[in-house]
Structure 1
Amino acid sequence: MEQRPLVGVAVVVCKDRQFLLGKRKNSHGAGCWQFPGGHLEFNESIEACASREIFEETGITIKNPRLTTFTNDIFEQEQKHYVTLFVVADYDAGIVQVKEPDKCDEWGWFSPEDLPSPLFLPILNLFERNITLPRLFSDGRA
Structure 2
Amino acid sequence: MEKERLPKVGVGAVIIDESNKILLVLRKKAPEAGCWSLPGGKVDYMETIENAIIREIKEELGVDIEITQLVCVTNHIIHLEDIHYVAPTFAARITNGEVQNREPHALEKVKWFSINEIPENITMTTDYALKQLKLL
> What range is the shorter-chain TM-score in?
0.7 to 0.9
For 2:67 and 2:5, how far apart are their aligned partners in 1?
Answer: 34
Distance (whole Å) between structure 2 residues aligned to residue 120 and residue 14 of structure 1: 17
CA RMSD of aligned residues (A): 1.8
How do residues 41-120 of structure 1 correspond to structure 2 at under 5 angstroms? 41-120=44-123
Measured in 2, the distance between the counterparts of 1:63 and 1:126 equals 18
User: When the two structures are superposed, what TM-score results if normalisation uses the length of structure 1?
Assistant: 0.85
Deviation at 1:27, TM superposition (A): 2.2
Q: Deviations over 1:76-108 (max 9, x none)?
A: 111111111011111212111110111001111
The answer to whether the Cα contact below 8 Å between 1:112 and 1:133 also exists between their aligned partners in 2 is no
Which runs of 5 or more residues in structure 1 are unaligned?
A: 136-142
Aligned to 1:14: 16
Between the two proteins, the alignment pairs up a number of residues equal to 133
Structure 2: gaps spanning 5 or more residues: none
Distance 1:46 1:122, change over 3 A: same
Distance 1:4 1:37, change over 3 A: same
Q: TM-score, normalization: structure 2?
A: 0.88
Moved more, 6-15 or 60-69: 60-69
Identity fraction in percent: 34
